[in-house]
Amino acid sequence: MNGAQDLGGAHGFGPVVPEQDEPVFHAAWERRVFALAMAMGYTGAWNLDGSRAARESLPPARYLASSYYRIWLEALEKQILAKDLVTPDEVAAGTASVPARPVARVLGAGELGPRFRAGFPSDRPADGPACFAVGDAVVTRNDHPVGHTRLPRYARGRRGVVERIHGAFVFPDTNAYGAGENPVWLYTVGFAAEALWGASADPGGRVTVAAFEPYLDPA
């Protein structure tokens, strides 16, 4: 999908200004939204890539006008509705009106620490050798799928060079929709700014993108 989150090369958003001593959460409701998202993800009703796909599929005007955790909240509501875990009336009222549907797992206080210390690794054994080596020139595919993809739209159909090989990882484009992990090789691909945005780009500027092998063709 060509989502509003792909801001590379877009004008009018101003510079990124880091907040000094920024807190993890700016309000109590943000902390609660994050906790709800983690707890619901643990149930197995969807996976990490499904959560990303839900956030990035919000209408662009709403996405760009929303704060970070507002986006998380709207995506969470969308997911629990899609899985029939709540009704639209319950979401509107903020109150349960029917008994909760059972879920596969419940994240209790005892599991919280060990689960997050273990992390959420997505590396997997490779089914075959990598198609590209460090130093290879590649061209990203100019593909605009209706579903989830991790290739930014501003980097599609562009020439770059493989700078690093990371191994094989879960392929988000299929995993987001329960179509299998389908592990594929992941690379760091470097691009000259001019290759992405033409002669008006910052001279000497560079951008690197983590690109899965299905996104790439030999240059």
pLDDT digits (tens, 9 = 90+) for 194-212: 999 999 898 999 999 999 9
Q: Does residue 215 surpass a pLDDT of 90?
A: yes
DSSP string, 71-102: HHHHHHHHHHHHTTSS-HHHHHHTS--SPPPP
Q: What is the DSSP letter of 208?
A: E
Taking the C-alpha atoms of residue 208 and residue 188, their distance in angstroms, rounded to an integer, is 6
Check: pTM over 0.75? Answer yes or no. yes
pLDDT digits (tens, 9 = 90+) for 62-76: 999 999 999 999 999
pLDDT band with cut points at 50, 70 and 90 for residue 112: confident
Q: Which residues contact 46 (CB under 8 A, 6 or more apart)?
A: 40, 54, 79, 83
Q: Which residues contact 133 (CB under 8 A, 6 or more apart)?
A: 162, 165
Q: Does residue 13 surpass a pLDDT of 90?
A: no
Q: Does residue 43 surpass a pLDDT of 90?
A: yes
Full set of structural domains in the chain with CATH: 28-118 (1.10.472.20), 137-218 (2.30.30.50)
pLDDT at 37: 94
pLDDT band with cut points at 50, 70 and 90 for residue 1: confident
